[in-house]
A and B are shown apart, each in its own frame.
Chain A
Amino acid sequence: MLNKTGVPTAEDVLTVTPSEERLKKGPVAIIECFQEIPCNPCTEACKQGAIQPMEDINNLPQLDYDQCNGCGVCLSRCPGLAIFIVDASYSETEAIVRIPFEYVPVPRVGESVVGLNRAGEELGTFVVNKVQSGGQKNKTYTIWLVVPKALAMDVRSIRLGGLRHAN
């Protein structure tokens, strides 16, 4: 259904979801890249040896969750904005989701923003805990969002300006 709606299915997401155990250990990349296209910047971005070099540039990225330390370099390099970092070790009840962001205005630290799922549906308002600039050349911001643990694998986009209750 992904190729009809743009929304990855639960099964798609499962193929890129680390084990509960790994998620608990700390930040890890979730590479939501489900289509073979000629693209490999993520493999070159990864200095941890976690994203395996591709034999064919059209291959899907292969991530070794245990090698990944959640540094997030791949997140800002991915041309498809398809990589997220999830840190389920943040607190007892909350996780951090890092999301690539290329809109204006860029949210401020401490600001509450609307969290959206893969279908663009509102999941609630969440606090921005850190904002990283991608720099002059890269330009993609990374937004760190504090979300309830149960939503760590669902929140994938943000919107400023409050809830619209339009789901």
Chain B
Amino acid sequence: MPKVKEIEVLIIGGGPAGLSAAAAAAELGASVLVFERDDKTGGQLVKQTHKFFGSKKQYAGDRGYQIGNLLIDQCMSNPKVEVWTDTTALGIYEDGVVTAEGQGKHLKIKPERIIVATGASEKMIAFPNNDLPGIYGAGAVQTLMNVHGIVPGQRVLMIGAGNIGLIVSYQMMQAGVEVVAIIEAAPTIGGYLVHASKIRRAGVPILTSHTITEAYGQDSVEGAIICQLDEKWQPIPGSEQDLKVDVICLAVGLSPLTELCFQADCEMKFVPELSGHVPLRNKYLETTRPGLYVAGDVSGVEEASSAMVEGRLAGVCAAFSLGYGNDVAPKLQADALAELSELRAGPAGQKTVNGIKKLMDKGGAAC
């Protein structure tokens, strides 16, 4: 019978939300353990080479990987934070025990508080031959290029003009890969228009109301057929184009990684504005399971800037509930809540605001 490790705050996920939560909770005096599935922490930040938006409080103007390094340093330099990499959480049980697989061992932890910051996973879309080698998720392309230094191919069709599609296209252009086109089924570009303009003026077309009808190729991708969509999202006959590409990159959205929340019996709700099933939570990010908090994309897909603020908020709340930081915690909570409102105040944040409103709205169909 292996020994059960006791800890005050367990954070599941070492990305922008998890690391921010760890630093915030430890800063107030709580002992923190972070589980990270990967062999190093930082999450998606380590692959982001562009300068971040937001304000100084969210490190705006710094590049994503620089912010990642900063958060990692913050956690590493705090003796209250312990990080277990290569460790995957397996389950959260009724008696409060959390199990994990780490370095080939089955681990048991008994935390007093849990912050789930597992992030999100990429969506896939259906089209003929979408299993051909050469078809990647945008996250995989980023890992390949920015972690391992390998370009995915020579000529790319990007599917999706949200921020991820635009950013990854730009990264490929910077790496000398030709982006033939970015197509987007919606009638308008979903990502920030400054990203779109930067790519467009470098000569890459962004085709809204366009979709892929099929990929083709013998052993790997040799091309893609795309077509235009009408106002009802139906293909316009005769609008087909044949693009000779060796890579098709999918950036068609993310889904919150909520398996642990379901398994922990958090009350869940499907909210399209938050990109799928998300756990019900109060404004301090505590779910319907007392002592279990969520932060970042797992509580609704958004930007890394807000994930970091949510992480900080959850970290402060978890530590405060354990009796730490009684003098400063209320102000830190208020600051984080104000920052979140500020980030979401504009048209770009409207979707999230509506989603959270729906989520908090009692009486909706929960499951």
* Residue interface bits A1-43, CB-to-B below 8 A is 1, else 0: 0111111100000000000000000000000111111111100
Is A37 a contact partner of B189 (Cβ separation < 8 A)?
no
- Say if the beta carbon of B52 comes within 8 Å of chain A: yes
**Residues on the B chain within 8 Å of A78, using CB:** 51, 194
Is A103 a contact partner of B173 (Cβ separation < 8 A)?
yes
Is B201 a contact partner of A120 (Cβ separation < 8 A)?
yes
- Say if the beta carbon of A150 comes within 8 Å of chain B: no
A37-B348, A39-B60, A56-B342 known; A137-B197 Cβ under 8 A: no
- Say if the beta carbon of A81 comes within 8 Å of chain B: yes
Is A79 a contact partner of B53 (Cβ separation < 8 A)?
yes
Interface residues in chain B, defined as those with a beta carbon under 8 Å from any beta carbon in chain A: 50-56, 60-63, 66, 173-174, 176, 187-189, 192-206, 208, 305, 342-349
Instruction: Supply 20 A–B pairs (Cβ within 8 Å), ascending by A.
Output: A3-B189, A7-B201, A32-B194, A36-B346, A38-B55, A38-B305, A38-B345, A39-B53, A41-B55, A56-B345, A79-B51, A80-B53, A81-B194, A82-B198, A116-B202, A116-B203, A119-B200, A120-B201, A120-B203, A137-B66
Interface residues in chain A, defined as those with a beta carbon under 8 Å from any beta carbon in chain B: 2-8, 32-41, 44-45, 56-58, 77-82, 102-104, 116-121, 137-140, 156-157, 159
A6-B206, A40-B60, A58-B348 known; A34-B201 Cβ under 8 A: no
A-B contacts counted at CB < 8 A amount to 132
Is B197 a contact partner of A8 (Cβ separation < 8 A)?
yes
**Residues on the A chain within 8 Å of B52, using CB:** 79
Give the 6 A-B residue pairs with the shortest CB-CB distance, closest first.
A58-B346, A80-B194, A120-B203, A6-B196, A6-B200, A79-B51
Kindly state the separation between the CA atoms of A137 and B59 in the bound complex, as whole angstroms.
13
Kindly state the separation between the CA atoms of A77 and B52 in the bound complex, as whole angstroms.
10
